[in-house]
Chains A and B, each alone.
Chain A
Amino acid sequence: MIGLTNVEKYYGDYHALRGITANIPEGEFFSLLGPSGCGKTTLLRAIAGFEHLSGGSLTIDGQDMSRIAPHRRPTNMVFQSYAIFPHLSVAENVGFGLRKRKDINRDARQRMVDEALDMVGLSGYGSRRAHALSGGQRQRVALARALILKPKVLLLDEPLSALDKKMREQMQAELRRLQRQIGITFVLVTHDQEEALIMSDRIAVMFDGQIAQMDAPQTLYRRPSTRRVAEFIGVMNFLPAARVGDEMFDVAGLGKAFIDRSQVMNGAGTDCVAGLRPETLSILFDGSDVPDHSFEGTITDRAYYGDMTYYDVVITPGTAPVTISMKNRAGRPILEPNTKATVAWDPRSLIIFGA
């Protein structure tokens, strides 16, 4: 569907995109995730045609896009600022792209606009002025305006970043539903890892103009390929480790364990780093059996989140604490700092990175 091969982009001396290669199949919800300045928006705008490539190739549906102007591409975009035309009504905004289509008469256009507004839950808003709308409503107008043209690809540039938390969560679900319903390719740019995980079929994590890892959300979370990706997505504890046998690793404070090859990332030599997600560690409360893999530590700090409690536990005095998240179940106490705790861990959820 979308084929990117060795895509390069320079702004003067600044190398914004470095050898991006990716294939995005039809009907996929694909996200470009990364910190600001990583090139994700540039890549999206290149697909839309607003940025010319300095090198490499871009195809959509097998057709080379290099000589195709943005207004002729089978893509439509939802802009970060929504870019609602302030001097036009909602219906005029939504019907904007249809005016150029000679094959659609007034009545058909009106019907399509109504349908599009209905699809995004804005029936009856057609005559309103754009600036009389709330952020969430503008977002929906922008969506309807893009989708009414039946693009092969919908490009979304940080579409939810201006919304408050509740609204954002609602729109995430709705976007996902819409995408399944119409079945076209969505390419989403976001810096919010949670948003990317929730919505995407596949995520490309970008740093410094390059794709660091491109995988499904679960793989990305459970098997981040580098320490930087792991740090960017969710929280991870890093402990110094050493390879002591073929599949045997000695992790500081945790002891020795067999680690499956699939958990050992490229570049891990003799000295390496072990990564553990907070939820893969658990504090053993009084009365539980002590499993094979566990360690003793002292709670130094705790943060209560309502549904969860995060504990900082120091294993060896003088070293950095590890973070542990525990669900607040009935009958489970909230432990105070300076309490001793026994923590269970599982070698199957541990990842080994290069040092």
Chain B
Amino acid sequence: MAAFDATARRGLLLVSPTFVYVLLLLAAPLATVFAFSFWTQDFLSIDYTVTLKNYQEAFSDPIYRTLLGRSLLIAGAVTTVTVILAFPIAYFVSFHVAPERKALWIFLITIPFWTSYLLRVFLWKVILGFNGVLNSSLIGVGLIDEPITLILYNANAVVITLAHAFAPFTILPIYVALERVDRSLLEAAQDLGETRVSTFFRVTLPLAMPGVIAAVLIVFIPTIGDYVTPRLVGGPDGLMIANMIQTQFLKLNNAPMGATLAVLSMCAVTLVSLVFLMLNRRYLKTS
């Protein structure tokens, strides 16, 4: 038993500074937020009576419901679009690019994302805007006469911008999963009479599924909490729950309501993630 304890002690010792840090700066604050969600704001002070009033308000006031619903909807749309757009790229780099040039491609894909996130979102506003790059170019070449207004200050703009913002975070996990696919399995499938297309659906895609699920979660989770994009390109109809959380905390000075909304969005995120992880597990079991 002595050896077990010795290595265990050494491991715990090494991990403890990080763990203590996380306990103090993440676990404790999260617990505080949770506690806040059961308190209420009484003008300048906090009423510490435990109540479900905030939750009732969050569910009954249509604005919160709309925002949370919209956040989920937009996050879902962003995730779908991003993953569908990204999969062929990951597949292309993994299957059709020569091994010695793969690193270069991955490098090329990641470079744009080392510019300031804020500026990238802002640049999309410039591109999609009424007098923006897209409209002025399209008018310039005579394709359209009037600027397209469908693509700025609404949910579409948010989807386009975020699909761009999360591109590498979806491509990379899918690429890694595809790289792990043993190529001889594909040959075996074709040897056993599958066509190239059916091989893709019966062998490649199931094996790449963990990467796809990872990509889905990597996009979905931060999107729910995104604050910058809806604010810059979303317009009034593109605002999301994170904007409301920010408003509650910083503008309305109603921390308990902000906390409630934060807890609700965390619950939503957790729920959706769990559903996806379970789907993945079942999918892997059946195939």
By a beta-carbon cutoff of 8 Å, the part of chain B in contact with chain A is: 1-4, 6
Contact = CB atoms under 8 A, between A and B. Distances in A.
Interface in A30-73: 51-52, 54
A11 interface: yes
Contacts of B1: 10, 54
Contacts of A12: 4
A53 to B, nearest CB: 8
Contacts of A52: 2-3, 6
A51 B4 CA distance: 9
A54 B4 CA distance: 10
Contacts of A9: 3
Task: Summarize A's interface: helix, strand, loop or mixed.
Answer: loop
Residue from A12, A52, A54 having most chain B Cβ neighbours under 10 A: A52
A263 B27 CA distance: 71
Contacts of A54: 1-3
Interface of A: 9-12, 51-52, 54
Nearest to B3: A52
Contacts of A51: 3
A294 to B, nearest CB: 51
Contacts of B3: 9, 11, 51-52, 54
Given A10-B1, A52-B2, A54-B3, 10 more contacts: A9-B3, A10-B4, A11-B3, A11-B4, A12-B4, A51-B3, A52-B3, A52-B6, A54-B1, A54-B2
Contacts of B6: 52
Nearest to A54: B1
A54 B2 CA distance: 7
A198 B1 CA distance: 37
Nearest to A66: B2
Contacts of B4: 10-12
Contacts of B2: 52, 54
A54 B3 CA distance: 8
Contacts of A10: 1, 4
A157 B42 CA distance: 71
A96 B243 CA distance: 60
A10 B1 CA distance: 6
A11 B6 CA distance: 12
A9 B3 CA distance: 9
* In the A-B complex, the 10 residue pairs with the closest CB atoms: A52-B3, A52-B2, A51-B3, A54-B1, A10-B1, A12-B4, A11-B4, A52-B6, A54-B2, A54-B3
Nearest to A10: B1
A36 to B, nearest CB: 20
B207 to A, nearest CB: 29
A73 to B, nearest CB: 16
Nearest to A12: B4
A252 to B, nearest CB: 46
Nearest to A11: B4
A189 to B, nearest CB: 19
A12 B6 CA distance: 12
Nearest to A46: B3
A39 B61 CA distance: 67
A11 B2 CA distance: 9
Contacts of A11: 3-4
B8 to A, nearest CB: 10
7 contacts: A9-B3, A11-B3, A11-B4, A12-B4, A51-B3, A52-B3, A54-B2
Nearest to B6: A52
A52 B7 CA distance: 11
Nearest to B5: A52
A69 to B, nearest CB: 12
A12 B5 CA distance: 9
Nearest to B2: A52
B77 to A, nearest CB: 48
B240 to A, nearest CB: 48
A54 B6 CA distance: 12
A52 B6 CA distance: 9
B10 to A, nearest CB: 13
B221 to A, nearest CB: 36
A12 B7 CA distance: 12
A10 B3 CA distance: 9
B50 to A, nearest CB: 43
B36 to A, nearest CB: 42
A9 B1 CA distance: 8
Nearest to A52: B3
B71 to A, nearest CB: 46
A52 B5 CA distance: 10
A12 B1 CA distance: 7
Nearest to B7: A52
A10 B5 CA distance: 11
A56 to B, nearest CB: 13
A44 B6 CA distance: 19
B223 to A, nearest CB: 42
